[in-house]
C-alpha cells in the first residue's frame, strides 16, 4: 500500500511548524488537511489558538477548523466521528487526508480506537478530586486498589490523573476502567496510517514560542479576549483553557503589565510543549521523527 491510499498523521509540540509543514506536504501529494487540535475547533478563538490564516485556507482545503462555538462542550468522541466522515469524503475526491495537530488524545483515539465510557457527572468528578486532594496520592491509590483491584500494575502509583479517572469510572459505572478499555472500538486499520512526528530542538522551539506570542499580540489577541469575555462562557468549558485568555484578562483588568502577560503566556506555552513532548515519548514511540524543514526527506519516507 503506497502513500496515495494512506492517511498521513502529523503531530508535534506547539509552535513546531506543523501547520506550515502540513500545507507544503498536502500540496505535494494532492492532499486535504484535517484538524487534530482540540483548541483550534473554536470559532471565536483564531489568534490565541494559532489557527491557519485565511491565505493558507485558500491554498489547500482545510477541515474541522473554527466550527465549534466556545459555549459548547466538545469531546474527543465528537471530533473522531466528524473526522471519520471527513476522511471518507476526502478519499471520495481522490485526495489524501493529512491530519495535523497537537492533541495527543485525538491521535490516540484515531489510531488505537475510542473507549466508550459513559459521561461521569460533574458532582462525582469533583467529589473524587477533593477526596484525592484530602487523602494525598498514596492513601488515595490504596483506596483505589480496594475499589478496583484490576488497575494493579496497570496504573502507576504516582499517576494522579489516571488514578482519579479510574476511581470515578469504577465508582459511577461499577465497571473497571480496564474492562472499559477492552471494549475499545477501532474505526480505521493501523496499516492505513503514516505517522510523522515533528521533532524540534527545545532551544529553537522556545525561540519560536516567544516569536509566536509577539505575533499574537500584533494580530489582535487582546481584542479577541475582550470579545471572548463578553460571551460569558461557563468556567468548566474547555475553551476557557486556551492559553492567553486568563493572562490577557488580567492585563485588561490592570492586574499585570503587557510584558508580564506576554511572559506568562510564553511560560505556559513552553510548559504545554513540554507536556506534549512527554506524551509523545510515552504514546508515540512508533511514529517517524522528522525535521519540518526537510520536506524532501519526509516525502521519501512516504514512499
pLDDT digits (tens, 9 = 90+) for 91-149: 999 999 999 999 999 999 999 888 778 888 989 999 999 999 999 999 999 999 999 99
Say which CATH number the domain at 63 has. Answer: 3.40.50.300
Q: Are residues 241 and 285 in the same domain?
A: no
* Structural domain that includes position 162: 122-182
CA dist., res. 228 & res. 242, Å (int) = 11
Q: Is 185 helix (H, G, I), strand (E, B) or coil?
A: strand
Q: Are residues 145 and 39 in the same domain?
A: no
Q: Are residues 147 and 73 in the same domain?
A: no
Q: Which residues contact 259 (CB under 8 A, 6 or more apart)?
A: none
Q: Which residues contact 200 (CB under 8 A, 6 or more apart)?
A: 12, 13, 16, 17, 208, 292
Cα angle vertex 221, ends 218, 223, to 5°?
110
Query: pTM higher than 0.95, yes or no?
Result: no
Q: Per-residue pLDDT for 1 more than 50? A: no
CA dist., res. 65 & res. 51, Å (int) = 7
CA quadruple 273, 275, 278, 282: dihedral sign: negative
Q: What percent of the chain has pLDDT over 70?
A: 96
Q: Are residues 22 and 109 in the same domain?
A: yes
Q: Are residues 195 and 298 in the same domain?
A: yes
The closest alpha carbon to 301, from 288, 286, 285, belongs to 288
Say which CATH number the domain at 161 has. Answer: 1.10.20.140
CB atoms within 10 A of CB 235: 5
Q: Are residues 263 and 178 in the same domain?
A: no
Which of the two residues, 168 and 181, has the higher pLDDT score? Answer: 168
CA quadruple 221, 224, 230, 236: dihedral sign: negative
Mean pLDDT in residue range 254-266: 97
Q: Are residues 212 and 262 in the same domain?
A: yes
Q: Are residues 129 and 88 in the same domain?
A: no
CA dist., res. 64 & res. 204, Å (int) = 29
Q: Are residues 82 and 195 in the same domain?
A: yes
Q: Are residues 65 and 194 in the same domain?
A: yes
Say which CATH number the domain at 248 has. Answer: 1.10.287.890
Q: What is the pLDDT of residue 269?
A: 97
Q: Are residues 175 and 195 in the same domain?
A: no
Q: Are residues 59 and 144 in the same domain?
A: no
In the chain, how many domains are there?
Answer: 3
Amino acid at each position: 500500500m503506497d502513500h496515495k491510499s494512506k492517511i498521513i498523521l502529523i503531530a508535534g509540540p506547539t509552535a513546531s511548524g506543523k501547520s506550515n509543514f502540513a500545507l507544503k506536504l498536502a500540496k505535494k501529494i494532492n492532499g486535504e488537511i484535517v484538524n487534530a487540535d482540540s483548541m483550534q475547533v473554536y470559532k471565536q478563538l483564531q489568534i490565541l489558538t494559532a489557527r491557519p490564516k485565511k491565505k493558507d485556507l485558500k491554498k489547500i482545503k482545510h477541515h474541522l477548523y473554527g466550527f465549534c462555538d466556545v459555549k459548547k462542550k466538545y469531546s474527543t468522541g465528537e471530533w473522531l466521528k466528524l473526522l471519520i466522515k471527513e476522511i471518507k469524503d476526502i478519499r471520495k475526491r481522490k485526495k489524501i487526508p493529512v491530519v495535523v495537530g497537537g492533541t495527543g488524545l485525538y491521535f490516540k483515539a484515531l489510531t488505537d480506537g475510542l473507549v466508550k465510557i459513559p459521561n461521569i457527572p460533574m458532582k462525582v468528578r469533583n467529589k473524587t478530586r477533593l477526596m484525592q486532594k484530602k487523602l494525598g496520592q498514596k492513601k488515595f491509590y490504596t483506596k483505589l486498589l480496594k475499589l478496583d483491584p484490576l488497575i494493579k500494575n496497570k496504573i502507576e502509583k504516582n499517576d494522579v490523573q489516571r488514578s482519579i479517572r479510574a476511581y470515578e469510572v469504577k465508582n459511577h459505572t461499577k465497571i473497571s476502567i480496564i474492562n472499559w478499555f477492552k471494549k475499545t472500538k477501532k474505526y480505521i486499520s493501523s496499516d492505513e496510517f503514516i505517522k510523522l512526528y515533528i521533532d524540534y530542538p527545545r532551544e529553537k522551539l522556545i525561540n519560536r514560542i516567544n516569536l509566536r506570542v509577539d505575533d499574537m499580540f500584533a494580530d489582535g489577541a487582546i481584542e479577541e479576549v475582550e470579545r471572548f469575555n463578553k460571551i460569558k462562557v461557563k468556567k468548566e468549558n474547555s475553551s476557557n483553557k486556551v492559553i492567553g485568555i486568563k493572562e490577557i484578562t488580567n492585563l485588561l483588568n490592570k492586574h499585570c503589565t503587557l510584558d508580564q502577560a506576554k511572559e506568562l503566556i510564553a511560560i505556559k506555552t513552553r510548559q504545554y510543549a513540554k507536556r506534549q513532548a512527554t506524551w509523545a515519548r510515552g504514546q508515540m514511540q512508533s511514529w517517524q521523527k522528522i525535521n519540518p524543514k526537510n520536506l524532501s526527506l519526509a516525502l521519501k519516507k512516504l514512499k
